[in-house]
């Protein structure tokens, strides 16, 4: 079974630009979560999508947005990039573990550098 795919793996942008990151979940998984990982703050939850609907959102400004397509692939967008947006952006594909906790499988991440 193929794992979670994230593209691109590396990205360099300048302040003020916008960026779109893509995530393809594990086949059959319908829920995708996005996290930002930085050395200072660690992993922080951005948002979760299920069946093309945002189900939950973390405490990030409106410059961070996302969407999910009918094939469960998801994109996240960051507009008006700031230096502090430099981070590893991780996508997690949620499987059903037969309980109220859904085991989350992470992709390799997209390393975004803002200059």
Partner 1 sequence: QKEVEQDPGPLSVPEGAIVSLNCTYSNSAFQYFMWYRQYSRKGPELLMYTYSSGNKEDGRFTAQVDKSSKYISLFIRDSQPSDSATYLCAIAKTGANNLFFGTGTRLTVIP
Handedness of CA 97, 45, 49, 18 (dihedral sign): negative
23 and 41 Cβ atoms separated by less than 8 Å: no
Binding mask 49-78 for partner 1 (x = CB under 8 A): ------xx-x--------------------
The DSSP letter of residue 45 is E
**In the complex, minimum distance from the CB of residue 56 to partner 1, in angstroms, rounded to a whole number:** 5
**In the complex, minimum distance from the CB of residue 64 to partner 1, in angstroms, rounded to a whole number:** 14
Tell me: does residue 33 bind partner 1 (CB under 8 A): yes
Q: Using CA atoms in the order 18, 25, 37, 16, what is the torsion angle rounded to 10 degrees?
A: 0
Could you say which of 24, 25, 48, 81 contacts partner 1 (CB under 8 A)?
48
């Amino acid at each position: 079974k193929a794992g979670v795919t994230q593209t691109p793996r590396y990205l360099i942008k300048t302040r003020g630009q916008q960026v779109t990151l893509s995530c393809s979940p594990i086949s059959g998984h319908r829920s995708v979560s996005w996290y930002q990982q930085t050395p200072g703050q660690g992993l922080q939850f951005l948002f979760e999508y299920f069946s093309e609907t945002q189900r939950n959102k973390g405490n990030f400004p409106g410059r961070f947005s996302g969407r999910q397509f009918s094939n469960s692939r998801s994109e996240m967008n960051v507009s008006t990039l700031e230096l502090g947006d430099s981070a590893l952006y991780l996508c997690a594909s949620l499987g059903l573990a037969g309980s109220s906790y859904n085991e989350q499988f992470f992709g390799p991440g997209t390393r975004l550098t803002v200059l």
